Amino acid sequence: DSGVTQTPKHLITATGQRVTLRCSPRSGDLSVYWYQQSLDQGLQFLIHYYNGEERAKGNILERFSAQQFPDLHSELNLSSLELGDSALYFCASSVAGTSGRPSYNEQFFGPGTRLTVL
């Protein structure tokens, strides 16, 4: 158990709908990251938040957005869903967000949310 929790475990929805995925980081971690894993794309970085502030964006679509709340949990919002958005969505957390010990760069992953768009 990594200490990172994600809900829901599974989500089935229809095209055009909007969903929200939730993540709680490990105790003490200030950084939250979101990744998308699909069969043909592997693990793709979406976005990084540190202590409530967005720090980096990867290949995140404009239809997707995220935020990190004062209690450090994070939500990933996916809207106008398309069939191609079906994938596993992982949240990870780490201590890092600013310079520090190299071990702060280690990211610990949650169990993921499997999103199926029909």
- Rounded to a whole number of angstroms, the minimum distance from the CB of residue 111 to another protein is 5
Beta-strand relationship, 31-38 and 87-94? antiparallel
* φ, ψ (nearest 5 deg) of residue 17: -85, 175
Determine if 112 is a binding residue for another protein (CB under 8 A): yes
**DSSP of 50-107:** ETTEEEEE-S--TTEEEEE-TTS-EEEEE-S--GGG-EEEEEEEES-SSS--GGGG--
Q: Which stretch binds another protein (CB under 8 A): 12-20, 27-35, 68-76, 77-85?
A: 27-35
For 111, other C-beta atoms within 10 Å of its C-beta total 15
Q: Which stretch binds another protein (CB under 8 A): 13-21, 42-50, 61-69, 75-83?
A: 42-50
Size of the site for another protein (CB under 8 A): 32
Q: Which stretch binds another protein (CB under 8 A): 11-19, 49-57, 60-68, 73-81?
A: 49-57
- Rounded to a whole number of angstroms, the minimum distance from the CB of residue 78 to another protein is 18
Q: Give me the residues that bind another protein (CB under 8 A), please.
A: 2, 4, 31, 33, 35, 42-45, 48, 50, 55-56, 58, 90, 92, 94, 96-99, 102-103, 105-112, 114
